[in-house]
Chains A and B, each alone.
Chain A
């Protein structure tokens, strides 16, 4: 099946700093999403981005499908950005529409 690798696994920032999270995937995809899992366990949709670039406030994402990677940018980080960031992809050759998740990046933003 498709492999999803996220880096870095852990990241500690001071409030106000910028960061880039990376997601590499091993095959072509129909769907790529970024999620934030907050400290209460909720999975919050950040971006649906199988290709191209999107921005939402301090967050933006870029997926280069031909090179099989996606980047999530967080600017001017806040303590509320803390949590785990997951990249999830749907294999375009798959038959069950399953999302395969990476292991996540644990982000801690200190005040």
Chain B
């Protein structure tokens, strides 16, 4: 079991460039989500999905798009990178059954926008 796998681990972008952060899980979890971690702000929810074909916005969705075509994959797209998007990004997944909602996180992607 690989758990939650994120790629890449590190990325440097120029302002205005676009890119996709990949996230895959092999635990058949219904729920997947993206967080960003900034100093002093903790982890904040960007987008989430409760199943294939269903996505919704979290606290800080502006500048990001997501899609969920399969149960396993939940990519995060940065449309036009800005320095304010410099952060560490975490993908997480879990079941949705109450009492069994333990979240598992990927190893993170450290993104710098210059």
Contact A41 B88 (CB under 8 A): yes
Contact B48 A96 (CB under 8 A): yes
Contact B105 A43 (CB under 8 A): yes
Closest-CB distance, B24 to chain A (whole angstroms): 17
Closest-CB distance, B39 to chain A (whole angstroms): 11
Contact B45 A96 (CB under 8 A): yes
The distance in angstroms between the C-alpha atoms of A19 and B104, with both chains bound, is: 25
Which residues of B lie under 8 Å from residue A99 when comparing CB positions? 43, 45, 92, 103
Closest-CB distance, A1 to chain B (whole angstroms): 9
State the majority secondary structure of interface residues on A. strand
The distance in angstroms between the C-alpha atoms of A90 and B90, with both chains bound, is: 17
A41-B110, A102-B42, A103-B42 given; A97·B50 CB < 8 A? yes
Contact B101 A30 (CB under 8 A): yes
Selected from B48, B99, B105, the residue in CB contact (under 8 A) with A98 is: B48
CB interface residues, A 23-65, toward B, < 8 Å? 30-31, 33, 35, 41-43, 45, 48, 50
Chain A interface (Cβ < 8 Å from any Cβ of B): 30-31, 33, 35, 41-43, 45, 48, 50, 86, 88, 90, 96-99, 101-104
